[in-house]
Amino acid sequence: MRASHDPLAGETDASAVTLSDDPGQRLSYQQTVPRHLVHRAAVSEVFLTDARPSGDDRFLVAAQWPRDHALYYPDGEGHADPLLFAETIRQAMVYLTHAYYGVPFTHCFVGSDFDFEITDPELLRVGATPLQPVLHARWTDLGSQPPHRTSLRVDVELSIGGRPCGRGSISVIALDPKRYRVLRHRGAGAAVEAGAEDGARPASRLPAARVGRLRGRDCVLERTESGAWQMRAALDHAVLFDHPTDHIPLMVLLEGFRQLGHVLMREPASVGRPEGPLPVLTGVQVSCVAFAELYAPVEFQVQDGFGRPGELRVDAVQAGRRVATATMTWALPGTADQRVEPRVDDLVAEQRVLVPEAVAV
């Protein structure tokens, strides 16, 4: 049964827009939605501004992306950070699930599959005013057992200024606290956390500029003495860990994958990349198979020789156990077809034998 929540009902907003494909729907950009409806503690990290039903299980979702941000800032070519789109997809899923489908705020959301694709990066170029994207969203029930468990998928199409420029989807299970605790303690998660630091290998954090970040604190990528890549994020980072959590969130994993891709796909000419435009991240597919624990490094293992030019597949492994796999697509600005190859010499990493996954979500 749907909830009737509409936090902005009745307001007059000079910045509201009318969608050409649905003239009766006016979306507001006057203020953000309540932060608890998107699972954020800081108001500054809320990007959604409005949502309206547009059909059966279909919605129009408005967002405003800041021209600059502490972590998700424009690249050197002036394009908005694609992870703003990723975070907007996540927020839209959480908002719609709470506001329109009555899932309690006490439920915990466990992600399984996530993907996005930017089909026209030039529409993400930052100008004199904030970008105001619209998501055309479809909410799908994948087999729920209310009120204890809701399994769902949200598919979105992205448009900016009325022009389509991307798509994405996210699949999650929302569990009541009791069922979440059972799932959380299944498998090897507790053992990973207990023995993590004892088995950690010495590693050096990369310079922020090499991973495309401005501040050293924003870099989550390290390299061990043996040449393996690993992720270790500061648990008090104000954006990556906006609020307390008992595991590494999806958006933190995405940031780690993106930073590794930046190293392998955007190195300057001085280390082997030809002169000319640098590739931008245009798509990510992530499959999560287990929880990544907070107190152990996550090793990134690159699958050499995978896929088409411009594609990079990376396994995230913790204590010998695969927790997620990401496939990234990098393309030159101006055309999604001009994909680039990763630097072959950086694809070499230690390989480990993986144990079977204990938790699949």
62 and 28 Cβ atoms separated by less than 8 Å:
yes
- Can you give the pLDDT at residue 168? 98
N- to C-terminal Cα separation, the chain: 25
Among 3.10.129.10, 3.40.50.450, 3.30.420.40, 3.40.50.20, name the CATH number for the domain at 26-186. Answer: 3.10.129.10
Q: Which CATH superfamily is domain 201-361 in?
A: Hotdog Thioesterase (3.10.129.10)
Q: What are the residue ranges spanned by the domains of the chain?
A: 26-186, 201-361
Distances (CA, A) of 166 to 19, 50, 135, 271: 17, 19, 9, 32
- Can you give the pLDDT at residue 257? 98
- Where the chain has pLDDT below 50, the residues are 1-5, 7-12, 14, 19-24, 188, 191, 194-195, 198, 269-271, 340, 342-361
Kindly give, in sequence order, each residue whose CB lies less than 8 Å from that of residue 55, ignoring residues fewer than 6 positions away.
none
- Can you give the pLDDT at residue 355? 29
- Can you give the pLDDT at residue 11? 42
- Predicted confidence (pLDDT) per residue in 160-170, tens digit: 999 999 999 99
Phi-psi region for residue 177, left (φ > 0), alpha (ψ -120 to 50) or beta?
alpha
Residue of 326, 216, 324 whose CA lies nearest to 264 = 326
- Can you give the pLDDT at residue 159? 98
**Equal CATH topology for 26-186 and 201-361:** yes
Per DSSP, the residues of 124-189 read: GB--SS-B-EEEEEEEEE-S-BTTTEEEEEEEEEEEETTEEEEEEEEEEEEE-HHHHHHHHTSTTH
In this prediction the pTM is 0.85
